Amino acid sequence: MLVRMLNQTIRLSCLIAVVSTAPWVMAQQRKAQTPKSVRLYILDCGKITGVGAANFGFKDGELATTEMTTPCYLIAHPRGTLMWDTGEIPDSALNADGSPTKQGAFTVTKPLLPQLAAIGYTPADITYLALSHYHGDHVANANSFAGSTWIVQQVERDAMFTPKTEGPGPGSNRANPVFFNKLETSKTMLLKGEDHDVFGDGTVVIKFSPGHTPGHQSLFLKLAKTGPLLLSGDLYHYPEEMTMKRVPNFDFDKEQTARSRAAIEDFVKKMNAQLWIQHDVTRGAKLKKAPEYYD
């Protein structure tokens, strides 16, 4: 009797385990279909809290909030896929029990790769990787995409693989290769201070917007239903940077940032595009998250 009860308990436990993990198993097995037009998926890669307004050129009280959101993006195109930015804490460093993981100002509650799996993608499915820039809150999972073709400005790559003690930027804003060292041997498309049409049809265009880092990039998308929009990278962090013309104290070249902003704002106006500040927590809270998408 005791053995029978034990066997039943084991079978029940196994059934519960299978059911509880079924969404993850199904996500791994389901393969995304090639879309007929460009899709933009927004993935939750954490938040940033506790940063000082002064670091961004503001006085206390001038910002509506200093909190920031940290999204990652997957762009699915009929000719391939592009991963844009990869988060602030590596999946491998997240708490195993699923509780929020906090490292300094960064807090992550969802690992990136399972979010991709839930919409039918693995790192092996990603054709291209592009990072807005090398700061730690944008590159944490970059090594997971070392098998993709990396699109990067030559000046940015040079800065990324300069020894940390010599690289540009103060303190933690220096490039830290621990997050992206595998990219050094990735298939790489080097840009020479230029824009790049990723799929050759004008729908996904990397825009050279230096200043925050030597080779900072923004991303322009032309979506059939949503219309044209531009992802800012860290050209801006807060809407007030745009309206009050403030530049962070830690930018690599503040004057270059101002010139890049002017050029991007002219481009956005010309294209009648939306400008999405990636770290804008207020707008970010209103945007659809994967598995929903913009097309």
pLDDT of the residue at 141: 98
4 part of a folded domain? no
CB proximity list for 264: less than 8 A, separation 6 or greater:
207, 209, 218, 230, 232, 235, 275
221 part of a folded domain? yes
Please, which pLDDT band fits residue 199 given cuts at 50, 70 and 90? very high
Residue 61 burial (10 A CB sphere; 0-12, 13-18, 19+): exposed
12 part of a folded domain? no
- The backbone torsions φ and ψ at residue 67, rounded to the nearest 5 degrees and listed phi first, read -70, 145
Closest of 132, 113, 70, 119 to residue 285, by C-alpha = 70
| CA 271 – CA 266 distance, rounded (Å) | 9
| CA 224 – CA 176 distance, rounded (Å) | 38
pTM above 0.85, yes or no: yes
189 part of a folded domain? yes
| CA 228 – CA 80 distance, rounded (Å) | 19
84 part of a folded domain? yes
Residue 5 burial (10 A CB sphere; 0-12, 13-18, 19+): exposed
> How do residues 140-185 score in pLDDT, each as one tens digit?
999 999 999 999 999 999 999 986 544 454 445 678 899 999 999 9
20 part of a folded domain? no
Closest of 31, 46, 64 to residue 289, by C-alpha = 46
Provide the CATH number for the domain around residue 261.
Answer: 3.60.15.10
291 part of a folded domain? no
> How do residues 19-63 score in pLDDT, each as one tens digit?
333 333 334 458 999 999 999 999 999 999 999 999 999 999 999
227 part of a folded domain? yes
> How do residues 203-262 score in pLDDT, each as one tens digit?
999 999 999 999 999 999 999 999 999 999 999 999 999 999 999 999 999 999 999 999
| Domains contained in the chain, number | 1
Domain span including residue 152: 34-286
CB proximity list for 17: less than 8 A, separation 6 or greater:
none
pLDDT of the residue at 13: 37
